[in-house]
């Protein structure tokens, strides 16, 4: 009988046990199956399980010598329900695809399996990943393990809730407007949006779509780096994909390399922020001084971010979902319909303007990073909100125009093409997690992860998850 205490171990520690032969991939699947039965009913993080497929894959992996089982050596990993896994229900959170079972996996999944990952579940997501609250008509809402009356954010909410509740050691997600960073912030784990092309994916609807990127989520920075190593690398099917770097991200994370000059911004100059979130993130950022870093308040100029993202996101929805609007409109949620229709109304002049704005934002960010090693800001502008609220309507007295505007603090960084992660940095007075967004120049994931590990050590936040799901606070 496998030891349920493994649930609390780090992914790196479990991989070491796998490589030493102390546990097998089958043992880990047994542990997860039991843990899911115990706790997932309270959070609904992993609505689709595929343990038979996982055990078949694990047994095939165990035929190889331990040294040939890849970076993950048989560690189980769940895949977000937007991404195809062969032979496994892949709904995208939409009634349109409630019975969809793809014959072929996304190249991201194939790469993880080649690197010793064992896929055992699909994690919940809002319909087509639209919106930063994980609920859909197929599986219902995902709840926050820290308080099950609260949202786990989105769109990788199932991934974050699984990590926080101990039904995953590592998790895959994706991020367009903060979809790895927001749920990590709400659930007290770490989520990274990598640079464009760092993680190869199967192109869909366009070979050069760059707003959305695939990335890793984990409970701590070292585990996050391990999964990024297992996900990274070029692939001929993805023309934007980047080659593997000579030094692994895990080695870079453990290097002890410290940033010298840090910028902190409470709002990036473009958004209201909850005062408690502002205070917690500022306090965490200032602690970089304990590592000898200079910490100053500064940020690049992001003044066009809202207009630019609104247009480019709408265009992405138009090219990827217009056919569904024409043929399945009655099965789409209102926010998705709105986004597609916004895209179909666009003129070439509006697209020209938005693309020029993105180029300017990226250029200003690059210039900013000539002076600063890292930029820090809140990962999410509010603490976890009630799960029945579809999105954040207002913050600190400002009402938002639409269901994505409250995400400006993360989508501004998407537009600048920078890698960014959310690191747990503290708790509100009511005990809910808050994440600090940490940002580096494009392709500087190694520097970002090393800096995040330094601050993680200073803050002492490692090991706060997993937890048993907690009932609503009275």
| Active site amino acids | 80, 155, 179
Cβ 124 vs Cβ 46: under 8 Å: yes
Q: How many beta carbons lie within 10 A of that of residue 463, not counting itself?
A: 10
DSSP β-bridge partners for residue 424:
435
Query: Residue 4 corresponds to which tokens in the numbers above?
Result: 């349920």
Which is nearest to 305 in space by CA: 417, 457, 462, 444?
Answer: 417
Distance of CA 123 to the CA centre of its chain: 12
Q: How many beta carbons lie within 10 A of that of residue 191, not counting itself?
A: 32
Q: Which residues contact 323 (CB under 8 A, 6 or more apart)?
A: none
Residue count of the chain: 474
Bridging pattern class, strands 170-175 and 213-218: antiparallel
Ramachandran angles phi, psi of 42, nearest 5° = -85, -20
Q: Hey, which bits of 197-305 come out as E strands?
A: 213-218, 261-264, 294-297
Handedness of CA 29, 33, 39, 43 (dihedral sign): positive
Which is nearest to 266 in space by CA: 290, 298, 291?
Answer: 298
Q: How big is the CA angle at 172 (ends 343 and 402), to the nearest 5 degrees? A: 30
């Amino acid at each position: 009988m496998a030891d349920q205490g493994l649930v609390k171990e780090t992914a790196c520690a479990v991989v070491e046990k796998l490589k030493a032969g102390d546990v097998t991939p089958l043992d880990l699947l047994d542990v997860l199956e039991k843990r899911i039965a115990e706790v997932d009913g309270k959070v609904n993080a992993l609505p689709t399980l595929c343990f038979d497929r996982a055990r078949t894959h694990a047994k095939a992996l165990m035929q190889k010598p331990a040294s040939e089982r890849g970076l993950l050596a048989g560690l189980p990993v769940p895949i977000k329900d937007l991404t195809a896994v062969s032979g496994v229900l892949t709904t995208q959170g939409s009634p349109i695809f409630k019975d969809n079972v793809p014959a072929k996996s996304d190249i991201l999944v194939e790469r993880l399996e080649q690197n010793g990952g064992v896929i055992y579940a699909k994690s919940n997501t809002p319909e087509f990943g639209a919106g930063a609250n994980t609920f859909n008509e197929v599986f219902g809402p995902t709840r926050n393990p820290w308080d099950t009356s609260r949202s786990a954010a989105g769109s990788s909410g199932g991934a974050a809730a699984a990590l926080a509740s101990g039904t995953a050691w590592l998790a895959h997600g994706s991020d367009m407007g903060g979809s790895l960073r927001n749920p990590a912030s709400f659930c007290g784990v770490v989520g990274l949006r990598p640079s464009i092309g760092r993680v190869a994916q199967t192109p869909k609807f366009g070979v050069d779509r760059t707003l959305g990127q695939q990335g890793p989520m984990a409970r701590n920075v070292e585990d996050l780096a391990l999964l990024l190593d297992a996900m990274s690398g070029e692939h001929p099917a993805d023309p934007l994909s980047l080659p593997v770097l000579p030094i692994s991200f895990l080695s870079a994370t453990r290097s002890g390399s410290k940033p010298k000059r840090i910028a902190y911004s409470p709002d990036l100059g473009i958004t209201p922020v909850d005062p408690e979130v502002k205070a917690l993130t500022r306090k965490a950022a200032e602690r970089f001084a304990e590592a000898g870093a200079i910490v100053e308040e500064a940020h690049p100029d992001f003044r066009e971010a809202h207009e630019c993202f609104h247009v480019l996101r709408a265009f992405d929805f138009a090219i990827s979902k217009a056919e569904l609007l024409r043929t399945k409109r009655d099965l789409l949620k209102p926010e998705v319909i709105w986004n597609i229709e916004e895209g179909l109304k666009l003129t070439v002049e509006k697209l020209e303007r938005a693309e020029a704005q993105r180029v300017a934002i990226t250029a200003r960010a690059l210039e900013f990073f000539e002076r600063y090693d890292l930029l820090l800001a809140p990962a999410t502008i509010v603490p976890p909100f009630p799960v029945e609220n579809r999105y954040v309507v207002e913050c600190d007295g400002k009402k938002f125009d639409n269901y994505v505007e409250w995400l400006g603090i993360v989508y501004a960084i998407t537009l600048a093409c920078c890698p960014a992660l959310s690191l747990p940095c503290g708790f509100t007075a009511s005990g809910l997690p808050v994440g600090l967004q940490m940002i580096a120049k494009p392709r500087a994931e190694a520097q970002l992860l090393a800096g995040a590990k330094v601050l993680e050590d200073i803050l002492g936040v490692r090991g706060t998850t997993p937890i048993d799901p907690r009932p609503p606070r009275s």
